[in-house]
Structure 1
Amino acid sequence: MAIGPVQLIVLGFRRPDFHGEIVAELERLRQSDTIRVIDALAVYKDAAGEIEVEHLSTLSSEEAVELGSKVGALIGLGIAGEEGLEAGAVLGAQAAANGVEVFGDEDAWDVLADIPNDTAAALLLIEHHWAVPLRDAIARAGGFRLGDGFISPVDLVAIGLVTRQEAEQLDTLLEARTTA
């Protein structure tokens, strides 16, 4: 089976207050075969910038063994300590020797640096099952991805897709969570 398009989503939390809602929604999406969570990490950064990592998962035991810690490998986070760092370096060198292009410094995304001190982040590596037929149709038509990104509610107001009131309600909800 070919893998669907994969996306790394990084969500920040000023004062995490998890009630299981996020995991429940991810599980609902998995059950409907819309997405698959390949891997998920919670990263806590204290006021001094020190990082603590916790592996999160909705994967079965078999999937977890098969996939390992892909987010950590993707962002260069040596969860397995020096052993994990060395294993990652060996795999990276093998990939480069096999002609796999590696990101240059100008293309790199330092996910950990983007997490503000004294906050937490959830890093979700998601496979979009729903997009496989669309991706394949685009490829058959000779198309390719030039870029992608989520659009902010403010920009959606500017183009008339949501009302200012709807965007303000979202901002109020998010602001209430960050100042509480």
Structure 2
Amino acid sequence: MAIGPVQLIVLGFTHPDFHGEVIAELERLRASDAIRVIDALAVYKDAKGEIEVEHLSNLTTDEAVELGSKVGALVGLGIEGEEGLEAGAALGAAAAEDGIEVFDEEQAWDVVEEIPNDSAAALLLIEHHWAVPLRDAIARAGGFRLADAFISPLDLVGIGLVTAAEAAELDRIERSAAASS
């Protein structure tokens, strides 16, 4: 299993009205082999302040074990050199047999403190599997990533990818969700 670029995305939801659409879309992207959710933590606080926390990952058990093995091998290599590589791989694989949870309960409580009642937050650790061949081609050409960022819809107007009206509508959608909190 080649590991693609990994991204952490933190999302906020005001007055969430979940119908399973986000999880369905993540599963669709997984089925198309575009992304994999390594770990996700969703924290919901209802209008009375009651809290619900849920973990999600769409790695198969074999993928979790393989990823755990690779991460463990890298950690072992960094600590003990060649001798730590094999031990780290074995420990990482064993630790991932029940799935990978990058986000722990302590992080859940940190998120809970930051969100108001009747809202939710989600932390998604996503592997961009679609980018593996591109990343490898860039590396073979001697290239490397200098920076990355999401671009605002309004900035897309300046480079001609969307019209001002389309950008204004995209921006309105993003801002109305944030403002209603």
Is TM > 0.5 for Structure 1 vs Structure 2? yes
Q: Which moved more, 1:63-72 or 1:32-41?
A: 63-72
CA contact (8 A) 1:41 1:54 kept: yes
Matching of residues 33-44 of structure 1 within 5 Å: 33-44=33-44
CA contact (8 A) 1:23 1:58 kept: no
Query: Secondary structure of the equivalent of 1:77?
Result: helix
Query: Secondary structure of the equivalent of 1:167?
Result: helix
Counterpart code for 1:173: I
After TM superposition, the score normalised by the length of structure 1 is: 0.65
After TM superposition, the score normalised by the length of structure 2 is: 0.64
Residues in 2 aligned to 1:143 and 1:133: alpha-carbon distance in whole angstroms: 13
Residues in 2 aligned to 1:158 and 1:116: alpha-carbon distance in whole angstroms: 34
| Structure 2 residue 163 is the aligned partner of structure 1 residue 133 | no
Residue 102 of structure 2: aligned partner: 70
In the TM superposition, residue 177 of structure 1 has moved relative to its aligned partner by: 4.4
Residue 11 of structure 1: aligned partner: 11
**Percent identity between the two aligned chains:** 66
Q: Which moved more, 1:53-62 or 1:26-35?
A: 53-62
Query: Secondary structure of the equivalent of 1:126?
Result: strand
Q: Which moved more, 1:151-160 or 1:163-172?
A: 163-172
CA RMSD of aligned residues (A): 3.4
Residues in 2 aligned to 1:172 and 1:78: alpha-carbon distance in whole angstroms: 29
Change (3 A) 1:61 1:144: closer
In the TM superposition, residue 14 of structure 1 has moved relative to its aligned partner by: 1.3
Residues in 2 aligned to 1:160 and 1:2: alpha-carbon distance in whole angstroms: 35
Counterpart code for 1:16: P
Structure 2 unaligned residues grouped into runs of 5+: 65-95
CA contact (8 A) 1:71 1:125 kept: no
In the TM superposition, residue 137 of structure 1 has moved relative to its aligned partner by: 1.1
Residues in 2 aligned to 1:77 and 1:173: alpha-carbon distance in whole angstroms: 28
Post-superposition Cα deviations, 1:5-30, rounded to whole Å, max 9, x if no partner, equal 11111111111111111111111111
Residue 89 of structure 2: aligned partner: none
CA contact (8 A) 2:43 2:53 kept: yes
Residues in 1 aligned to 2:46 and 2:167: alpha-carbon distance in whole angstroms: 31
User: Which protein shows a greater Rg?
Assistant: 2
Residues in 1 aligned to 2:162 and 2:108: alpha-carbon distance in whole angstroms: 42
| Structure 2 residue 32 is the aligned partner of structure 1 residue 32 | yes
Post-superposition Cα deviations, 1:60-94, rounded to whole Å, max 9, x if no partner, equal 56647454211349xx7278xxxxxxxxxxxxxxx
Higher relative contact order (CA 8 A, sep 6+): 1
CA contact (8 A) 1:9 1:124 kept: yes
Structure 1 unaligned residues grouped into runs of 5+: 80-110
In the TM superposition, residue 42 of structure 1 has moved relative to its aligned partner by: 0.7
Change (3 A) 1:6 1:67: farther
Residues in 2 aligned to 1:122 and 1:78: alpha-carbon distance in whole angstroms: 10
